[in-house]
Chains A and B, each alone.
Chain A
Amino acid sequence: KAGVTQTPRYLIKTRGQQVTLSCSPISGHRSVSWYQQTPGQGLQFLFEYFSETQRNKGNFPGRFSGRQFSNSRSEMNVSTLELGDSALYLCASSLNRGNTEAFFGQGTRLTVV
């Protein structure tokens, strides 16, 4: 069974640009959550999608958005990039909502210059 696939693995963008990251969950998993990981702040929750609907949202500005498609694949978008958006963006896949095991992808390393 394939794991969680995130693309691309690495991205370098310039301040002010926008970026779209993709996540394909484990087959059959319907819940996708996104996290931002930085050395100073650790793993911070961005949002959760289930059945194409955003179910939870973390404390991030509106420049961060996401969506989920009918096949459970998810994308997140960051507009008007800032230097502080440089981070590892991780996607986690779960079978359902609630207290079920969450499996992470390898992440997308975003560098904003």
Chain B
Amino acid sequence: GENVEQHPSTLSVQEGDSAVIKCTYSDSASNYFPWYKQELGKGPQLIIDIRSNVGEKKDQRIAVTLNKTAKHFSLHITETQPEDSAVYFCAASGGNTPLVFGKGTRLSVIA
């Protein structure tokens, strides 16, 4: 089955700097890669996703890149703000298979 590795597990950045979180997956049949943000006491919130026919997708300060050959995808957050502090999860799935999640990255943005 699918296995998703996520790095780093914790990340601290200064406000205004960029943050990058990386994930690798094992199943070449996976073709959908969402990213979630989870704040304390809340459920995961879908922030951006990418499908295998696209190499990069942007939404304001957030971007995701996908390298299908290397089986890895990354989340980029630019101009970080304190409200970006949260736990971020990557996930992968293919066809009708369930989402498989990485272990999460705790991002701290220091003002």
Residues of A within 8 A of B (CB): 4, 6, 33, 35, 42-43, 45, 48, 55-56, 58, 90, 92, 97-99, 101-107
Contacts and interface: CB of A to CB of B under 8 A. Distances in A.
Given A45-B100, A56-B96, A101 B44 contact: no
B73 interface: no
A41 B85 CA distance: 21
A77 to B, nearest CB: 19
Interface of B: 31-32, 34, 36, 41-46, 49, 51, 89, 93-104
Nearest to B44: A104
B95 A99 contact: yes
A33 B100 CA distance: 12
Contacts of A6: 43
Contact of A101 (B41, B49, B97): B49
Contacts of B32: 99
